[in-house]
Chain A
C-alpha cells in the first residue's frame, strides 16, 4: 500500500494543529499590541505607542510566516478568530508587564512545538522554528528592558515621560 498521506503533506496532523494554534496566538498578540498602542496614544505616551504599533506589525508577520509554512508543506492553514482583546489598562506599567507576559507565552508555546517536533523527528519544522526561537530572544529582551526602565528611572515626577522617551530607543543588537 502506497504512503499517500506522506505524498500529500510533509507535516503530521498533530504538528499542523499545533502550528495552527500558534497562528492564532500570533494573531492574538498582534491585536493585543494594537490595543496597547491605542491606550498609550490616548494617554500621551507617543513613543510607546509607536513601539507597540511596530510590535503589532511584527506579530502579524510571524503569523503569516506560520500560515504560509503550513500551506507550503501541504497542510491546511486556518484563519483564526481573535476575540476578547483587553482595551483598557490601569497604568502605564501594567501595559509593559502584560507585554512581557505575552512574549513569555509565545516563547513557551514555540518551545512546546519544538519538543513535539523532536519527538516526531520532524527536523524540517525544527529548522523552520529556529528563526522564531532567535526572534523570541529579541522580543523578550525588549519587553524586559522596557520594564527595567520603570525601575531605573522611577515613575515619580517626569519619570513616566522619560520612560516613554527611552522605550522608543530600545534596541537588541546582540551578536551572540
Chain B
C-alpha cells in the first residue's frame, strides 16, 4: 500500500477515493492501482483493458438479477498479470476510481500541453 507518498518519490497520486487509489510511476511508465487489498501494476494497454472490462459490466442488470447466482464478478484481463474477484459494490467503487483516473490523466495532458508543449498560448 502506498499510503505515504514521501516514501515513494517516483510515484504521483493520480486519483484517490475512499476505496482505492491510482498512482503514476514516471520512471517505469506505468500505473499502480491500489484497490481491493492489492497493489497491481498496469502499463497503458493493460490499464485500458481494465477500464474496458469494468465498464462492460452491466451493473443495472446485475442489481435487478434475482437469481441465486453469486454476487461476484471475475475480472480477468488478457495478457495482464492481474485478476480481480469483486462484489457488485466493489465493481461500482472500481468504476468510480477508473473514471476519476482517466479524467485526471486527460486534465494532466491539457496542463502538460499548456505548460510545456504550446507555451505560446499562456
Residues of A within 8 A of B (CB): 1-9, 12-13, 76
Contact = CB atoms under 8 A, between A and B. Distances in A.
Interface stretch (B32-40, B65-73, B82-90, B105-113): B105-113
23 contacts: A1-B12, A1-B14, A1-B24, A1-B108, A2-B26, A2-B112, A3-B109, A4-B26, A4-B29, A4-B44, A4-B105, A5-B44, A5-B105, A5-B106, A5-B109, A6-B109, A7-B29, A8-B45, A9-B44, A12-B106, A13-B48, A76-B45, A76-B48
B109 to A, nearest CB: 5
Chain B interface main SS type: helix
A57 B86 CA distance: 46
Nearest to B43: A8
Interface residues of B, number: 15
Contacts of B14: 1
Interface string B101-121: 010011011001100000000
Contacts of B109: 3, 5-6
- Residue of A2, A4, A13, A76 contacting most chain B CB atoms (<10 Å): A4
B107 to A, nearest CB: 10
Given A6-B109, A6-B112, A1 B44 contact: no
A8 B18 CA distance: 29
B88 to A, nearest CB: 25
A12 B45 CA distance: 14
Which 9 pairs of residues, A with B, have the shortest CB-CB distance? Answer: A3-B112, A1-B12, A8-B44, A2-B26, A3-B109, A5-B105, A6-B109, A1-B24, A4-B29
